[in-house]
Chains A and B, each alone.
Chain A
Amino acid sequence: MGSSVNLSAIIVFVGFISLSLFITWWAAKRTHSAGEFYTAGGKITGFQNGLALAGDFMSAATFLGLTGLAFIGGSDAMLFTAGVTVSWAFMLFAFADRLRNLGKFTFADVVAYRLHPEKLRVLAATGTLTVAIPYLIAQMVGAGSLIEALFDIPYLAAVLIVGTLMTVYVVFGGMLATTWVQVTKAILLLLGGTTLLFLVLSQFGFSVDALFDKAAEVHPRGEGIFMPGGLYDDPISVLSLGLAFVCGTAGLPHVLMRFFTVPDAAQARRSIGYAVAIIGYFQAAIVIIGFGAIALLTGQTEYVSESGQIAGGANMISIHLSRLVGGEVFFGLIAAVAFATILAVVAGILLSASAAVAHDFYSRVIRKGEISDADEVRVTRWATLFIGATAIGLSVFFKNVNVGVLSTIALAIAASVNFPAIFLVLFWNGLTTRGTIAGGITGLTVVLVLVFLSPTIWVNVLGNEVAVFPYAYPTLFSVSAAFLVTIVVSILDDSERAQVDRAAYSSQVVRSELGELK
């Protein structure tokens, strides 16, 4: 790779950074109040927000990671790509209206609507940070390594560039800048991915059949790549993986925060509808590109060794493929788009973490809501700066951490802590404050203990022979445990607060279905 830094990569790279900084400058002039900072004043349209939502989820993990996964796991990649699409459709059906109608800035506004506000905000802020920080570090470490490999920039410098840019976007431009950076990147990624798909298909005379024939012909496992079970061969793992997507996506704080950037529930629905369509298209394209990579890269020892080792790691598959089918110029474009992807995603995550600290924790819990708008914005900007700097520091420190493990933990926590609380507060009249807190603590504990005992840490990191907990994803157990504890504790709860919590459900339902009564 080393000296292969090419002109097209640098042009797109510098172009994107200049454009994003221009967007930030433009947004900064329009970002003064807390509402403008957290949710762009609720003025984003459904289509724009749909692109931004899709962009939030089409991270480097999806574009680079899933193509790599399809290359290694064949048909099993479909479990991931279909799971992603299904999870977004589910979020639309179950959450879109009610969340938008009840919340203001963050999902904590929703869980605090009828439950004890301070206690629930502490739980939601914890749920946000324990998801956002590992996710942020996973993306930044991934970005650092990728940029190091692509542009020959040292890891430390790469992390500093990414960290500084994301902090600048959020501190100055808030949600408005973050959204437009995300929209720009989503368009670039869709164009880049579609061109890659087109170029890959053109190698086979645009015959999908020829592509799959070739893949089965050259792969050492032959038609075995079409058989499920290569990555996960027991039902518990498959169900756990499925639940991680279905519940985890609907518990990601930076995604949920986007529900509040549009004017009303109708626009929230439309925006997620657009997001499902864009994500569905992109996920389907990734599967074809992945099998195209099997057909084209297998046996090319420059990229993949005889023993199946991929130069630069599995995340490099789409990058290698773009060079093979599109030459140096296209390779540069895709590399730069991958970089833009990471940058836009980390900015969104950073904003959600800052909102948790400044809005949920500081303004609502410590100051009990008695804080001026200007002060809240000032606190948020400082919180962003602090979290951004911490994330840079941690990414340098954890350079060798397994990015996949961190993302797994983040998604599992989102599924086991945030999802049960939101789901039950919206749909179960029996939920009480005590039950929600007990369930949240249970979900978090079970995830951390099970991930620690699972093969990913117990065997791969600590070097033990056999994992105490044999499955890669803890979600089937942790989500069930969180729901069970929340429900049982709520039913047994006979405190005075519990009666307030339950009594408020029916008017919450009216508000959540019809919006604010005018």
Chain B
Amino acid sequence: MDAEQNIADDPAFQQLLATRSRIRWGFSFIVIGAYLGYGVAGLYFSESYATPFFGSSMPWGLVMGFCIIALSVALSIIYVRIIGRLEAKNLFAGRPN
């Protein structure tokens, strides 16, 4: 408990925490915002959602949907990489308890 309390007060830990929070909530906000925005906007721009995407037959609405899926996958891969790198620095490993 004491060791954990010491780390909690350590400025280096607080900085790590701030970095991780920014990534965590930033990424979450992007995917959830894009998805809910896409869903609600579809109700008001349903005509536009149905128009073909640049000369193809696939409608805009579906193209955007596929993009949200791709975005979720891409950000997930980036997240795993970034956090892995942060962890590799391992600022707090080997500290005496």
Contacts and interface: CB of A to CB of B under 8 A. Distances in A.
Do A and B share a complex? yes
Contact of A280 (B69, B79, B92): B69
A510 B79 CA distance: 20
A85 B68 contact: yes
A480 B40 CA distance: 18
Interface size class of A (residues with CB under 8 A): 35 or more
Interface string B30-66: 0110111011101100110110000011110110011
Interface string A45-73: 00000000000000000000000000000
A186 B72 CA distance: 20
Interface residues of B, number: 55
Interface string A256-283: 0000000001100110110011001101
A265 B83 CA distance: 10
Contacts, number: 170
A46 to B, nearest CB: 9
Contacts of B40: 235, 238-239
Of the candidates B3, B24, B94, the one having the most CB atoms from chain A within 10 angstroms of its own CB is B24
B65 A78 contact: yes
A83 B87 CA distance: 30
Interface in B3-30: 3-5, 7-8, 13, 16-17, 20, 23-25, 27-28
B61 A510 contact: no
B65 A209 contact: no
Interface string A204-241: 00001111110010000001101111000111001101
B57 A228 contact: no
Interface stretch (A91-99, A319-327, A466-474): A91-99
B41 to A, nearest CB: 9
B43 A228 contact: yes
A369 to B, nearest CB: 19
B79 A273 contact: yes
A86 B35 contact: yes
Given A81-B69, A507-B1, A513-B20, A226 B61 contact: yes
Contacts of B79: 92-93, 269, 273
Interface in A281-316: 281, 283-284, 287
Contact of A269 (B13, B75, B83, B93): B83
Contact of A79 (B39, B76, B92): B39
Given A90-B28, A284-B66, A83 B35 contact: yes
Given A82-B35, A229-B43, A269-B79, A510 B72 contact: no
A510 B4 CA distance: 6
20 contacts: A78-B61, A79-B42, A85-B72, A88-B76, A93-B27, A209-B57, A210-B57, A226-B61, A226-B62, A227-B47, A228-B42, A235-B40, A239-B36, A246-B35, A266-B87, A273-B76, A273-B80, A276-B76, A509-B8, A509-B17
Given A93-B28, A228-B42, A228-B43, 12 more contacts: A75-B59, A88-B72, A89-B72, A93-B25, A211-B57, A223-B59, A224-B50, A269-B83, A276-B73, A507-B1, A510-B5, A517-B97
